[in-house]
Amino acid sequence: MGDPVWQWSAVRTAAAIREGEISAEAVAEAHLERMRAANPAVNAVVVDMSEEALAAARATDRARARGRRLDALAGVPITIKENVDFEGRPNLNGVAANAPLVAPAHAPVVANLLGAGATCLGLTNTPEFSMRAHTDNPVHGETRNPWDASITCGGSSGGAGAATALGIGCIGHGNDIGGSLRWPAHCNGLATIRPTQGRVPAFNPSAPSERTMMAQMMSTQGPMAREVADVRLGLSVMARRDARDPFQVPAPLEGSEVPKRAILAKVPEEMEADPGVMGIVRAAADRLADAGWAVEERALPDVPGLFRLWADVLINEMDVSAGAGMLSVGSEDFAEVWGAYKAFSRELDLRGFVAACAERITRQRAWMALLEERPVILTPCSLQPTWAPGADLGGPETVRRLFAEHLTFISIFNLLGLPTAAVPAGLLDGRPVGVQLTATRFREDVALDAAEAVEDGVLCRALWAREDA
């Protein structure tokens, strides 16, 4: 007996619909049935778009019956994170006060996905203002990790992560300014990529003002999936041109061959790493070596300093541009977490902020030189086992420690602007552990090639097997 349709990859699903093996409507019905069965326990999809999904699937079937050429994602079920504009719907971003922000048009990433024929099942949960590493908000409530409710599903794309792991959609849309794709991918056993800034167009027509400078430079849109091949497919569609983003760069998605030389990052002395986690990271490095990559373990340039710089420039800018506004409508939990963020970042005056932004370029230059020598850098997603839901409500010192021990290797690549893939590497006590593969600017193909070398099957099959046990 074959795998259930909802377990199929995006690549397989798209091919099966194109070739007439299955109808798009049957695919949509299978995923919607899965959503009805699995979503109530985790609260990942918070806006049900079943009727729209079936209508879109039937339109795909009619197009195929008329002999029309189907686009890359025709009939492939996806989800969209509820912090980008979906025409006609409020962009809540986890905040009830955002209800008047009804999207007058699709955001570019939504337009690209739907324009390629994807079938949107629904919108996924995100924390307030997409500003926590755990997904919970007063509007929709908490999203639970499908592997283990005692650990976080991650954030801010935690709803997308939990849904995709469960088989609700083949590809989940998310975004990332400090780890909001890679952290939930790690927590839920998924693959993803934080693309180079400018690869995927971004714009919210409902936004009352433009994004600030650090958001322009560090925030990216990307796909989450159960297999690296699906991440590659999703990225190819998301990256289609949209003139509304002046920062989008029409760079090719594939480049010339690079030497297969990689760095396995040493953990800085001031950071504590769990032996079980690091055992999985080293096993991933061994798989990379087995695939023909020469892997050298070495220290990376001032990782703790990079993390501090990321926190300083991002939190200071957000505080000046939006801090008071967010606090005026956010919950007590949000206020507590925001206060903790401000406590572990240094308060900068204008001169200090300008100097910090300039320092970013110096650091980028050093890492670009390193990647010329070794085109891939392998790092942990997290140095410690995944924390509990709500652990970020433990006060400023707890939050500083959580970020320093868990997210440092994730957040620094937003500051550096480098494409970074995450891929499941194994299970620790039955919970997923991922690793990151970073390449130079606009070489997402190299990062994904390395991720495919590390990939060891579909980790989520272990999750689904529990249901059959």
372 by Cβ neighbours in 10 Å (0-12 / 13-18 / 19+) ranks as exposed
What SS3 state is found at 142?
A: coil
Reported in sequence order, the residue ranges of 280-416 that DSSP labels E, i.e. its strands, are: 294-298, 376-380
| 1: its two tokens | 């007996």
Q: Could you give the residue ranges of the DSSP H alpha helices within 182-251?
A: 182-188, 213-218, 228-238
* Nearest Cα residue to 437 out of 185, 109, 251: 185
Residue of 23, 81, 130, 219 marked catalytic: 81
Do the strands 376-380 and 420-428 form a parallel or antiparallel pair, or are they unpaired?
unpaired
Residue 156 is among the residues annotated as catalytic for this protein = yes
d(CA 459, CA 425): 8
d(CA 311, CA 345): 5
* Nearest Cα residue to 175 out of 188, 152, 156: 156
DSSP state, 328? H
| 350: its two tokens | 């204008």
d(CA 363, CA 454): 28
310 by Cβ neighbours in 10 Å (0-12 / 13-18 / 19+) ranks as buried
* Nearest Cα residue to 38 out of 187, 188, 177: 188
Q: Alpha carbon 316 to chain centroid distance? A: 23
Residue 81 is among the residues annotated as catalytic for this protein = yes
Q: How many CA atoms lie within 13 A of 342 on its CB side?
A: 16
d(CA 49, CA 393): 33
d(CA 94, CA 82): 8
Residue of 180, 219, 345, 382 marked catalytic: 180
Residue of 23, 130, 156, 382 marked catalytic: 156
- Residue in this structure with the two tokens 């340039």, named with its chain if needed: 301
Active site residues: 81, 156, 180
